[in-house]
Structure 1
Amino acid sequence: METTLPSPRGTKRKGDDGLPLPAPRRIKALAQDVVNKIAAGEIIVAPVHALKELIENAVDAGSSALEVVVKDGGLKLLQITDNGHGIDKEDLSILCERFTTSKLKAFEDLSTIGTYGFRGEALASISHIAHLSVTTRTKESSCAWRAHYADGKLVSAKPGQSAEPKPIAGRPGTQITVEDLFYNVPSRRRAFRSASEEYAKILEIVGKYAVHCSGVSFSCKKHGASSTDITVPVAAGIVDRIRQIHGSTVANELVSLKAENERWGFKSEGWISNANYSAKRTTVLLFINHRAVESPTIKKSVEQTYATFLPKGGHPFIYLSLDIEPQRVDVNVHPTKREVHFLNEDEIIAIICDEIRNSLSKVDTSRSFMTQSLLSNNPKVPFATPIKQTTPGTPTAGDPTTERSTSKTATKTTTKKPHENNLVRTDASARKITSMLQARPSADGSGNGNDEMDYEYAEREPTVCRLTSIKDLRADVRSAMHSELTDIISTHTFIGIVDEQKRIAAIQGGVKLFLVDYGMLCNEYFYQVGLTDFANYGAIRFNPPLSLHDLLKVAAEQEKKNAGEAADEIDWDEVVESVEEQLLSRAVLLLEYFSMEITEEGELCSIPLLVKGYTPSLAKLPQFLLRLGPYVDWETEKECFQSFLRELASFYVPESLPLPPSVPQDDSGKGKGKEKVVGEDPEIAARRKKMRHAIEYVVFPACKARLVATKGLLKGVMEVANLKGLYRVFERC
């Protein structure tokens, strides 16, 4: 009996020479219809790409108003109306043919192209995958003309009619209507998940051009909707456009950016968020030669630049308009023109990032920190550990929780030695970091660096405030109270100032170390003082009185410098006169409630004194007065008091001083890497010394005594060390 074993796996078999070989395939030219649809599929990937092309064509046509209407995410209807110069009737017959354009004549023109559209493929591509109609009128024409297109050619609106454009009534400009996009490409149409997702992409691209295209109004809405989702007026500046599209949160935290270099042939300007703004993802509005593009390299470089200024997980907002010499840019590298290539990319990006870094370092804005596992909710961990050896549940005389828990702990008398990681030195007489530094005597020999002031005590009886609005504002503070953070601040030990430019200080609370944004802390403290002592403030008197008009002029000049290109759109003299008139008309109210005296001649005699022993930086006085005009709601009582006290608190916040100048020190290899302080302006040095003394000996003790920490302060406090956690780390070493 014979058995046949199967051949081992992977064994090669000889080909059967008897089988005929397949005939070689011949190369054939694709049908023109297939070619056009392939090209259209590369250029128009989604409704948003069709709209981008149409917006760019409208802006190229000199339009000052664009209206966009969308239905079903642009798949059912996509309509854009502009008031540009229109299209001549004679050009309508070839409008949707491929490679027909008014912007190029020779290939060499690509090297100097300065317009959005140039290849003549946008309308042609749309006509191959949608029903396209165009209504247009030039200034010279007596009527508008409407034409319908399919596959790049004129077609009739109804069977049996002529395909020639029809005269109709219409206003100057062009209206392009795209219906049933991808009706003949069902696989592409089925790829879209939802109309709302496509509409969100459309709003994004409209928002980008609405921010960038100054002098052009934009509106975008769904078909049949009574209200628009995007509305930007024609006269709006860039910051106002950002406010309309992205909200006031980011618009209030913007700083201008400008950078240029003749060697690399570029200029750039824009607006970037400061260190006080942080979002979950980076927003980059990038325009290269006024074309909205994407650049992962620029985005990554900008994020790395911001990494040293923002908390972990925080991301910035960037609007950047980059003008590069056209001969250095290749705009024809991507079918949808989403990307462009340009020479010396690394050098240009490095210059821009350096300018961003400088802008963020100069801005005088208090920095906020997002909390990371901030403030444990575990009641077993005390905020301030007693020095005496007691059980965790037994309070001591110095513990602020003694009165609350005496009855519950009276029976617990046994003592237990605490772990070393629970021992914290909280004695107020303990030596601090500041005591280790050599004290410099001040002019009066006191050594504390605090100017002596002459105080006069008035015999005026305290006013009892019965205003409902003030009572409501005080209640708002109490309802926003964060008990745990209030306990920490009320029992904290001040360690020292970490960064006076970003206004950050370190405090110890129990077994934990915190970094505190003392700019934010002071803002809330002085606001609460303003509420508590309402109508009972002291007064800082000026002798001789100061000219209100001159102070406002100083503030206006400073604002004009900071406003950048938007400054030209504002009549600053009118602003000064308006604010001065507003303050003079409210002089009685200011004197009665805020101890702020302004004479009829426009002289400022006094401003409120909130805390004895602390004088706000008078360098901020002009800006404080100027902001009292637009940022105080003078019409409604509660809003008036609240907004005024917020501005007053902001004025009282310690100023952000630049870091002292220093140079690297290297004495023959010794001390390499260290820095020594070089000559600093004496006035700045005196202000720095006075501010440091006031923060440690006036502000933080005052906060410890009476501040109600609100939930909003959580953004300005970050836990950086926990003795228990550190003890476990060292225990393993």
Structure 2
Amino acid sequence: MSVISAIDKHSVHKICSGQVVLDIATAVKELVENSIDAGATSVDVNFIDSGIGGIEVVDNGCGIDPLNYESLALKHYTSKITNFEDLEKVMTFGFRGEALSSLCALSHLVVITATKTQAPMGVKLEYDSAGSLKSKTPQSRTAGTTVQLTDIFHSLPVRRQEYKRNIKREFGKALIILQAYSIISTNVKITVSNQTGTKPSIKIMSTSKNKKMSDNITNIFGSKLTSQIIPFNVDLGSAIEGGGSVEGFISKPEWGLGRSTSDRQYFYVNGRPCVLSKIAKAFNDVYRIFITNQYPVVIANLKLPTDAYDVNVSPDKRTIFLHDENKISDVLQEQLKEQME
């Protein structure tokens, strides 16, 4: 009979990191979230060979304070919460202190950063697989942070080979995630590009630091789609304590303006991209009252009190538990139907 014994710390770190960073899409999502949390108004996402060769995210945020260099990539070190109760009021994308630590275990991570007081001379930081700082060298840098990932999933060879085999699908998943952040992030310019081999880098999508979400939608999908959607605003005051609303855009209830799949549906809670299956069903059910057998384009942001939902549900933080989901769904369907008639 086998003896029950503790798993060594290095193996635990690799196992847990593989659960936090599931794929290239999750990796790039975590880096973009860090940039937005840092107050960046410009975020450049650069893929090399669709992510197999590496990912670089460059921002003009606040930069990293020298006091945080040592702890930046250590497991469960974060500046965003200090205790469990803080989860009820967290407004940042990150809060667990897991992303950079996990990326260290699964790839080679380099950070180049400078605060406003340090610029134009910053520092290049290299971390080992455990997230410990192994080197620090001066490097020129305007205020902001650059994070470079190479040899992604080198410590999980089966996952790396799986990504290579399904590179088109996996890269597509990453782009869908980036579309979600590009749509909702007003006053931020997000640019995504990919470099294949020795060819010049190709720009895939870009927003223009727009003040309105509708302009972001035009940047990402074109003016034709923007002309086919209408705004909505649902008051959730009767559904949840503390009030709230659902705001966004949906396809006009006209034949041919919907889609054969739900591939253009984006849901957010207080600006956080997430999966809301029951809310998605509410939108689809209302739309099919007017147009059968088609899915609407939906961009919906639920503005809720922070204690009205739980974001600490899944490793990638994309699953959110809404405390009054049934009430929200009912009010949403009732008011959305009225606004579309």
Query: Could you tell me the TM-score, scaled by structure 1's length?
Result: 0.44
CA contact (8 A) 1:331 1:341 kept: yes
1:198 aligns with 2:170: yes
Q: Return the offset for 1:89.
A: 1.7
- The farther-off stretch of 46-55 and 189-198 is 189-198
Q: Which residue of 1 is the match for residue 84 of structure 2?
A: 107
1:165 aligns with 2:136: yes
Q: Which residue of 2 is the match for residue 341 of structure 1?
A: 321
| Superimposed CA distance per residue, residues 156-201 of structure 1 (whole angstroms, 9 cap, x where no aligned partner) | xxxxxxx331111111100000111111111111222332222222
**Percent identity (aligned):** 28
Q: Which residue of 1 is the match for residue 332 of structure 2?
A: 352
Partners of 1:106 and 1:114 lie apart in 2 by: 14
Q: 1:226 to 1:79 in 2, by over 3 A?
A: closer
1:191 is paired with a residue whose SS is helix
Partners of 2:110 and 2:159 lie apart in 1 by: 22
Q: Which residue of 2 is the match for residue 443 of structure 1?
A: none
**Structure 1 unaligned spans of 5+:** 1-23, 156-162, 362-733
Partners of 2:339 and 2:228 lie apart in 1 by: 12
* Runs of 4+ deviating beyond 4 Å: none
Larger radius of gyration: 1
1:301 aligns with 2:299: no
Partners of 1:288 and 1:235 lie apart in 2 by: 20
1:213 aligns with 2:185: yes
Match among 128, 135, 145 for residue 123 of structure 2: 145
1:208 is paired with a residue whose SS is helix
The within-5 A match list for 1:258-277 is 258-263=233-238, 264=240, 265-276=243-254, 277=257
The within-5 A match list for 1:381-530 is none
Q: Larger RCO: Structure 1 or Structure 2 (Cα < 8 Å, ≥ 6 residues apart)? A: 2
CA contact (8 A) 1:259 1:268 kept: yes
| Superimposed CA distance per residue, residues 532-588 of structure 1 (whole angstroms, 9 cap, x where no aligned partner) | xxxxxxxxxxxxxxxxxxxxxxxxxxxxxxxxxxxxxxxxxxxxxxxxxxxxxxxxx
Residues paired across the two proteins, number? 330
1:290 aligns with 2:267: no
Partners of 1:191 and 1:46 lie apart in 2 by: 10
Partners of 1:279 and 1:340 lie apart in 2 by: 26
Match among 242, 246, 261 for residue 217 of structure 2: 242
1:231 aligns with 2:206: yes
Larger fraction in strand: 2
The within-5 A match list for 1:77-156 is 77-142=54-119, 143-154=121-132
Partners of 1:305 and 1:153 lie apart in 2 by: 48
Q: Which residue of 2 is the match for residue 326 of structure 1?
A: 306
The within-5 A match list for 1:61-76 is 61-76=38-53
1:177 aligns with 2:148: yes
Q: 1:152 to 1:323 in 2, by over 3 A?
A: farther
Match among 152, 157, 164 for residue 186 of structure 1: 157
Q: Which residue of 1 is the match for residue 36 of structure 2?
A: 59
Match among 21, 28, 31 for residue 8 of structure 2: 31
Partners of 1:297 and 1:262 lie apart in 2 by: 19
CA contact (8 A) 2:234 2:336 kept: no
Q: Return the offset for 1:236.
A: 5.3
Partners of 2:283 and 2:123 lie apart in 1 by: 48
CA-atom RMSD in angstroms: 1.5
Partners of 2:64 and 2:157 lie apart in 1 by: 32
Q: What amino acid sits opposite 1:313 in the alignment? A: N
Q: Which residue of 2 is the match for residue 498 of structure 1?
A: none
1:93 is paired with a residue whose SS is coil
CA contact (8 A) 1:89 1:145 kept: no
CA contact (8 A) 1:147 1:154 kept: no
1:171 is paired with a residue whose SS is coil
Q: What amino acid sits opposite 1:45 in the alignment? A: L
Q: Return the offset for 1:58.
A: 0.7
1:287 is paired with a residue whose SS is strand
Partners of 1:302 and 1:208 lie apart in 2 by: 18
Query: Could you tell me the TM-score, scaled by structure 2's length?
Result: 0.93
Q: Which residue of 2 is the match for residue 592 of structure 1?
A: none
